[in-house]
């Protein structure tokens, strides 16, 4: 598939997203008992407006020009709002209600089309080993990783959002400690995914294959942990099977977010991973700050050309997965689960990171935590001027967590436009 075709597919997918506006619901319940508290069915404290921006890029500018009262976003946009002086953190996602529920919540996962895995298991296993190694590298070398990520996201120049500009290196440095980079699909992780499923059921967002199926059926639809298990063995032994050559380019989706640093680090420091594990994702043009084509090389042999495609939010990535425009993707857990719920033939293979979302409000607001945010929201609603919070996309993890927290706290939400 050539670059022109990928671009065309991406544009079509994003256009389709804008029409459908719904491909980011969260996870389904694989197994175990959920403990998520039900949302309020009769909100009484007031109303909060939600503005969907289809991506995080406009958010700081909207806050700086007083068009919104806050935004909920992934990193580094949370830290960019703080560093620029336009905002302050009201709450990180781990502290959203119900209390203690989201203390180590899933954020992003790695998904693979099942047909692609069936035809190319050794490739997916080796790529997964690279992800595991890269996540560990970020944990062990956060400052070096911050420089790599800042280069990818902004060429180490300032992040600029309209009239808001901040140091990319500083913002990424401050972002990394708010994220837990992990690839382990532990029982606790699956339990937290269950909580997201129940939250989405309570919000009325999951209505497809995953809503009423048995626990076993849900788990088989959601997950394929075989690549993770095989990749763990590769990391432990540093012995990787060279996959058969794939003739057509393999396309991998991602977001311009610190959450997806595993990809950026793997590409930018390809020599380290080659020297350590015999696996590299080597950019064809290493001078590019954000490479879009790389060679996947195992044991010194090129086995595939990999095209790297970014999107504004998870919905666009999952629409690309639906049309086979991408075969693998780094994506938020809710968009992945929504896609599976709707019958898109992907499987979640392992986590990429936990945490990493934050609610930012205008600087000087009477807010220090969720409780004071709720009090502010009630005050504004009572005065007939409900708060307006920007959200990157309908059904995104940020949308799910904010709406659930608000309804759990007794607030109604309404979609607004500006």
Tell me, yes or no, whether 7 lies in a domain: no
Neighbours of 239 (CB within 10 A): 11
pLDDT of residue 71: 98
Nearest CA among 173, 107, 101, 188 for reference residue 141:
173
pLDDT of residue 25: 35
In terms of residue numbers, what domain contains 73? 40-103+357-415
Task: Tokens for 50, please give them.
Answer: 């939600």
pLDDT of residue 211: 86
**CA-CA distance, 294 to 216, in Å (whole number)?**
38
Instruction: Tally the domains of the chain.
Output: 1
pLDDT of residue 163: 82
Tell me, yes or no, whether 124 lies in a domain: no
**pLDDT per residue rounded down to tens, the chain (418 residues):** 443 333 333 333 333 333 333 333 333 322 332 333 444 445 679 999 999 998 999 999 999 999 999 999 999 999 999 999 999 999 999 999 999 889 999 999 999 999 999 999 999 999 999 999 999 999 999 999 999 999 999 998 999 988 889 999 999 999 999 999 999 999 999 999 988 877 878 888 888 888 887 878 889 999 999 999 999 999 999 999 999 999 999 999 999 999 999 999 999 999 999 999 999 999 999 999 999 999 999 999 999 999 999 998 898 999 999 999 999 999 999 889 889 988 999 999 999 999 999 999 999 999 999 999 999 999 999 999 999 999 998 888 899 999 999 999 999 999 999 8
Tell me, yes or no, whether 200 lies in a domain: no
Tell me, yes or no, whether 78 lies in a domain: yes
> Please, is 126 exposed, middle or buried when counting C-beta atoms within 10 Å of its C-beta (0-12, 13-18, 19+)?
buried
**CA-CA distance, 418 to 223, in Å (whole number)?**
39
Tell me, yes or no, whether 51 lies in a domain: yes
Total residues belonging to the chain: 418
pLDDT of residue 43: 64
Task: Tokens for 62, please give them.
Answer: 């909207």
Tell me, yes or no, whether 262 lies in a domain: no
Residue identified by tokens 């946009």 is 77
Give me the residues paired with residue 51 across strands.
390
- In this structure, what are the phi and psi dihedrals at residue 315, rounded to the nearest 5 degrees? -55, -45
Tell me, yes or no, whether 233 lies in a domain: no
């Amino acid at each position: 598939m050539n670059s022109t075709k990928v671009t065309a597919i991406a544009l079509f997918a994003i256009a389709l997203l804008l029409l459908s506006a719904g491909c980011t619901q969260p996870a389904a319940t694989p197994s175990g008992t959920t403990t998520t508290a039900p949302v309020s069915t009769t909100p009484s404290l007031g109303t909060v407006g939600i503005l969907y921006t289809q991506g995080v890029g406009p958010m700081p500018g909207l806050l700086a020009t007083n068009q919104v009262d806050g935004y909920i976003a992934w990193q580094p946009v949370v830290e960019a709002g703080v560093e620029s002086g336009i905002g302050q953190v009201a709450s990180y996602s781990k502290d959203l209600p119900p209390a203690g529920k989201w203390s180590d919540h899933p954020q992003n996962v790695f998904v693979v089309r099942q047909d692609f895995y069936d035809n190319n298991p050794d490739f997916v296993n080796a790529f997964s080993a690279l992800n595991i190694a890269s996540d560990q590298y970020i944990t062990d070398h956060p400052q070096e990783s911050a420089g790599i990520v800042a280069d990818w996201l902004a060429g180490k120049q300032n992040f600029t959002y309209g009239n808001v500009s901040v140091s990319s290196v500083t913002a990424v440095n401050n972002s990394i400690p708010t994220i837990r980079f992990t690839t382990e699909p532990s029982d606790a992780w699956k339990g937290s995914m269950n909580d997201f499923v129940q939250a989405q059921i309570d919000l009325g967002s999951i209505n497809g294959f995953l809503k009423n199926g048995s626990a076993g059926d849900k788990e088989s639809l959601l997950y394929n942990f075989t690549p993770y298990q095989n990749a763990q063995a590769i990391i432990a032994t540093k012995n990787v099977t060279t996959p058969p050559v794939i003739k057509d380019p393999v396309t991998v989706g991602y977001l311009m977010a610190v959450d997806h640093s595993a990809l950026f680090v793997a590409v930018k420091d390809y020599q380290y991973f080659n020297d350590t594990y015999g696996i590299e994702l080597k950019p064809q043009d290493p001078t590019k700050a954000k490479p879009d084509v790389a060679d996947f090389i195992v044991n010194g042999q090129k086995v595939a050309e990999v095209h790297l495609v970014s999107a504004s939010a998870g919905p666009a990535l999952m629409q690309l997965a639906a049309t086979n425009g991408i075969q693998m993707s780094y994506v938020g857990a809710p968009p992945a689960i929504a896609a599976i719920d709707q019958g898109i033939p992907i499987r979640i293979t392992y986590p990429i990171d936990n945490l990493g979302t934050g609610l930012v409000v205008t600087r000087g607001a009477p807010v220090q935590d969720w409780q004071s945010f709720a009090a502010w929201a009630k005050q504004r609603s009572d005065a007939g001027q409900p708060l307006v919070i920007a959200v990157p996309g309908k059904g995104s993890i940020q949308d799910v967590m904010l709406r659930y927290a608000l309804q759990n706290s007794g607030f109604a939400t309404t979609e607004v436009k500006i």
